[in-house]
Amino acid sequence: MKENWVIGVIGGSGLYEIDAIEDRQWIGVNSPFGQPSDEILFGRIGNVQFRFLPRHGRGHRVAPSDLNARANIDALKRAGCTDILAISAVGSLREEIEPGRFVVVDQFIDRTQGRPASFFGTGMVAHVSMADPVCERLSAHAAAAVEAAGGRVAKGGTYLAMEGPQFSTRAESHLYRQWGADVIGMTAMPEAKLAREAELPYALVCMATDYDCWREDESAVEVTDVLAQMKANSKIARETVVRFAEALPESRTPSPIDSVLDHAMITAPNARDPAVLARLDAVAARWLAANAVSE
pLDDT in tens, 260-289: 999 999 999 999 999 999 999 999 999 999
Instruction: Inform me whether the pLDDT recorded for 120 exceeds 70.
Output: yes
Q: Please check the confidence at residue 294 and state whether its pLDDT lies above 50.
A: no
Between CA 29 and CA 38 the distance in angstroms is: 9
State the pLDDT confidence band at 1, using cuts at 50, 70 and 90. low
pLDDT interval class at 218 (50, 70, 90):
low
Report the pLDDT value the prediction gives residue 217, as an integer from 0 to 100: 73
For residue 31, pLDDT beyond 70:
yes
For 117-222, where are the alpha helices, taking DSSP H only? 136-148, 170-178, 188-197
Does 165 sit behind a cis peptide bond, omega within 30 degrees of 0 on the bond before it?
A: yes
The predicted model gives 218-236 an average pLDDT of: 71
Sign of the alpha-carbon torsion through 119, 3, 50, 205: positive
Is the model more confident about 235 or about 192? 192
Instruction: Determine contact, residues 162/184, Cβ cutoff 8 Å.
Output: yes
Residue 229 above 80 pLDDT?
A: no
**Full-prediction pTM beyond 0.85?**
yes
Q: Are 5 and 47 in contact (CB under 8 A)?
A: no
Q: Which residues pair with 43 in a beta bridge?
A: 50
Q: Three-state DSSP class for 174?
A: helix
Looking at every residue in the chain, the average pLDDT score rounds to 93
CATH topology of domain 6-294: Rossmann fold (3.40.50)
- Spatial CA neighbour of 119 closest among 3, 232, 277: 277
Largest separation between any pair of C-alpha atoms in the chain = 64
**Cα atoms in the 13 Å half-sphere on the side-chain side of 229:** 22
The domains of the chain are located at 6-294
**For 132-158, how does the pLDDT look when each residue is reduced to its tens digit (9 = 90+)?**
999 999 999 999 999 999 999 999 999
- Contact between residue 243 and residue 149 where contact means Cβ atoms under 8 Å apart: yes
User: What residues are labeled active site?
Assistant: 210, 212
Closest CA to 32 of 286, 276, 288: 276
| pLDDT above 80: residue 99 | yes
At 15 the pLDDT is: 74
- Asked if 84 and 52 count as a contact pair (C-beta separation under 8 A), the reply is no
Q: In the structure, what pLDDT confidence band is assigned to residue 55 with cuts at 50, 70 and 90?
A: very high
Cβ contacts of residue 180 below 8 Å, gap of 6+? 158
Residue 56 host element (H or E): none
| 108 contacts 159 by C-beta, under 8 angstroms | yes
For the chain, list the strands marked E by DSSP: 6-11, 22-27, 40-45, 48-54, 83-92, 102-104, 107-110, 153-155, 158-161, 183-185, 202-210
What is the mean pLDDT of the segment spanning 169-188?
A: 96
pLDDT grade, residue 215 (50/70/90)?
confident
